[in-house]
Amino acid sequence: MNMEKTKKTLMIVSLSTLAICCIMLILAVFGIKIFDGVPLRLLLIFATICVATGISINELTVISRKKILGLVSIALLALSVLMAFVIFCSNLLVTENVFNRITGIVSVLSVTFIIIISIYSKLGKSLLGLQIPTYVAFGALAILLSLLIGGLHLFDTKGMLEVFIVLGIVCFGLLIASTIIGAKKKSSDVGAVNSKAKTITISLQEYESLKEENKALKEELEKLKSNNQ
């Protein structure tokens, strides 16, 4: 019950901050300065809260299946958010520095870990032929993004931009496929549980006992019918 209340609270926070971000972006369309100074900081803070709380809702479900992995995911997410807030609330936002790069790399690796754990918690040990390529693709994409954030000019190498784009498309496709299959598997599991709930298993001795009682009841009914006639 507490888990459901927590999810509901996170959902309210996520939707509220999403609404605020949308309003701020709409105001920007009409010429109000949003992408500078305090408004920009607020926009980034609200956007971060929106995304973080949305991810947290899913991670609470992961915790119910894989507690330790789910808690690690939440911890990494909290670390990324905390580091981002340090940037948004200080002069680090307008300067290029090592802390910003570290924050970006930590965020990329954290999100990648969260995605992988989320998929694994849904599919378990099934469909490894889909899971392994998905994890490899996301791992490779995370490494490339981390190198780019770290300042390495990968795109100066011929063909790297195309590799990056293709890898991104592959990751997106595999993520969608894993999500759809995971949802179907969850539906099948619920159906199996409901089917089991409608089935009662008894021992042979209990069956024989019920059979004898049923036979005795039938004999009593026959006697009552005979007496009434």
Q: Are 10 and 53 in contact (CB under 8 A)?
A: yes
In this structure, the answer to whether residues 43 and 120 fall within a common structural domain is: yes
Beta-carbon contacts of 3 under 8 Å, excluding residues fewer than 6 positions away, are 60, 64
In this structure, the answer to whether residues 220 and 141 fall within a common structural domain is: no
- More confidently predicted of 195 and 100: 100
Indicate if the pLDDT at residue 192 is higher than 80: no
Mean pLDDT over the full length of the chain: 85
For position 169, what pLDDT does the model report? 94
- Model-level pTM? 0.72
pLDDT band with cut points at 50, 70 and 90 for residue 188 = low
In this structure, the answer to whether residues 179 and 207 fall within a common structural domain is: no
In this structure, the answer to whether residues 85 and 30 fall within a common structural domain is: yes
In this structure, the answer to whether residues 75 and 124 fall within a common structural domain is: yes
In this structure, the answer to whether residues 20 and 49 fall within a common structural domain is: yes
For position 70, what pLDDT does the model report? 86
Indicate if the pLDDT at residue 212 is higher than 90: no
Helix 67-88 and helix 98-123, axial crossing angle in degrees, nearest 10:
150
Q: Are 108 and 149 in contact (CB under 8 A)?
A: yes
Give DSSP secondary structure letters for 6-67.
Answer: HHHHHHHHHHHHHHHHHHHHHHHHTT---SSHHHHHHHHHHHHHHHHHHHHHHHHHHHHHSH
In this structure, the answer to whether residues 157 and 219 fall within a common structural domain is: no
How many C-beta neighbours within 10 Å does residue 76 have?
20
Beta-carbon contacts of 102 under 8 Å, excluding residues fewer than 6 positions away, are 83
In this structure, the answer to whether residues 128 and 221 fall within a common structural domain is: no
For position 125, what pLDDT does the model report? 79
In this structure, the answer to whether residues 106 and 208 fall within a common structural domain is: no
Give DSSP secondary structure letters for 157-219.
Answer: STTHHHHHHHHHHHHHHHHHHHHHHHHHHHHHHHHHHHHHHT-----HHHHHHHHHHHHHHHH
Q: Are 175 and 115 in contact (CB under 8 A)?
A: yes
In this structure, the answer to whether residues 117 and 72 fall within a common structural domain is: yes
Query: Vertex 175, ends 173 and 179: CA angle to 5°?
Result: 120
Q: Are 87 and 93 in contact (CB under 8 A)?
A: yes
Say which range, 34-38, 108-112, 164-168, 223-227, has the weakest mean pLDDT: 223-227
Say which range, 4-13, 37-46, 63-72, 198-207, has the weakest mean pLDDT: 198-207
Structural domain total, the chain: 2
Structural domain boundaries enclosing 209: 203-229
Widest CA span of the chain, in angstroms? 103
In this structure, the answer to whether residues 12 and 81 fall within a common structural domain is: yes
Both tokens of 73, joined, read 């995911």
Indicate if the pLDDT at residue 193 is higher than 50: no
Say which range, 73-87, 155-169, 173-187, has the weakest mean pLDDT: 173-187
Give tens-digit pLDDT for 99-130: 999 999 999 999 999 999 888 888 877 778 88
Residues present in the chain in total: 229
pLDDT band with cut points at 50, 70 and 90 for residue 190 = very low
Q: What are phi and psi of 50, to 5 degrees?
A: -60, -50
In this structure, the answer to whether residues 171 and 62 fall within a common structural domain is: yes
